[in-house]
Chain A
Amino acid sequence: MENVYLKKSPYLNTDIQTAELLAGFIDGDATAFSKLYNLHVNMLYNYGCKLTKDSELLKDCIQEVFIKIYNKRTELDSVTNFKSYIIISLKNKLCDESRKRINLSDVAVEELDVVSGDTVEKDYIDNEKEMLDNIFVAKILDELSPRQRKAIVLYYIEEKKYEEICAIMDMNYQSVRNLIHRGISKLRTCTV
């Protein structure tokens, strides 16, 4: 089974270099931070491209990941593998942004129930499923033009009426209907 994976990765031969740079960065070498960025940015970008088609969103998320790394540099010595750490950080950031983009608001902290031990696993699975659904929906929505996306989000997710969408988007009734209809047709072709 392992033989399937023997192909050489362009990323794996950077492990020793990464460890040295990370040690230097934790010790306060600011140039090491820049080198860490240059060594890993395309690995993050390639991975992120599979989760979103929005290149600007992806670059914003990569930016936030590196800023977080910089701000938490004193805690990085507990990181066992820098590559998986930054990939998971990017994935979590993209999930957060996907959730925001499809306008699924988080429940206010005061509304959360304290979960019992036996519901933790179910909550974890539910959260994983929601995270995946959010990424998938956001990725599908990326197929639409910005106006189609906005109209569909307003109609189906925010549950606005056509008249409200007309006012928000400064369009007439028929144009909004056409925009949503064309968007839905496009989404159908994407999800077949």
Chain B
Amino acid sequence: MNSTLEKRLLSILVNDDFINYVLNPDLILKERWEDYLIAHPEDIPLVTQARQILLGESDPKELTPEEAFDLEQRILNRCDLTTV
């Protein structure tokens, strides 16, 4: 992906409205984004890609179980919850 497309993808991914549209849609957001895609069909691939990233549908990256455990312990230590 070239830098222009990557920047456009990032701009969608960091958009609070878009995040809510994907993860917590209401009628207003749904209508707004569907109108946007009707007006800008060229952005459908990017919006679809951004949506797949947020929903973990396309080759999602994951922490290893060890990394996830270590990070959890760091968080629990900082919250004084080591006995959980």
Contact = CB atoms under 8 A, between A and B. Distances in A.
Contacts of A42: 56, 60-63, 68
B28 interface: no
B20 A62 contact: no
A33 B84 contact: yes
Interface string B1-17: 01100110111011010
A50 B53 contact: yes
Contact of B24 (A10, A37, A83, A139): A83
A10 B2 CA distance: 28
B61 A135 contact: no
Nearest to A87: B19
Nearest to A136: B7
Interface in A1-58: 1-2, 4-5, 7-12, 30-31, 33-34, 37-38, 41-43, 45-47, 49-51
A40 B23 CA distance: 13
Contact of B76 (A34, A49, A51, A192): A34
A66 B75 contact: yes
Nearest to B76: A34
B57 interface: yes
A59 B71 contact: yes
Query: At the interface, is chain A mostly helix, strand, loop or mixed?
Result: helix
A83 B60 CA distance: 16
A47 B61 CA distance: 8
Contacts of B52: 7
A81 B24 contact: yes
A135 B10 contact: yes
24 contacts: A1-B37, A31-B84, A33-B79, A34-B84, A38-B72, A42-B62, A45-B61, A46-B60, A46-B61, A46-B62, A49-B61, A50-B10, A50-B13, A51-B13, A59-B67, A63-B75, A70-B79, A83-B24, A87-B19, A87-B23, A95-B14, A136-B7, A140-B3, A190-B3
Interface of B: 2-3, 6-7, 9-11, 13-14, 16, 19-20, 23-24, 34, 37-38, 44, 48, 51-57, 60-63, 67-68, 71-72, 74-76, 78-79, 81, 84
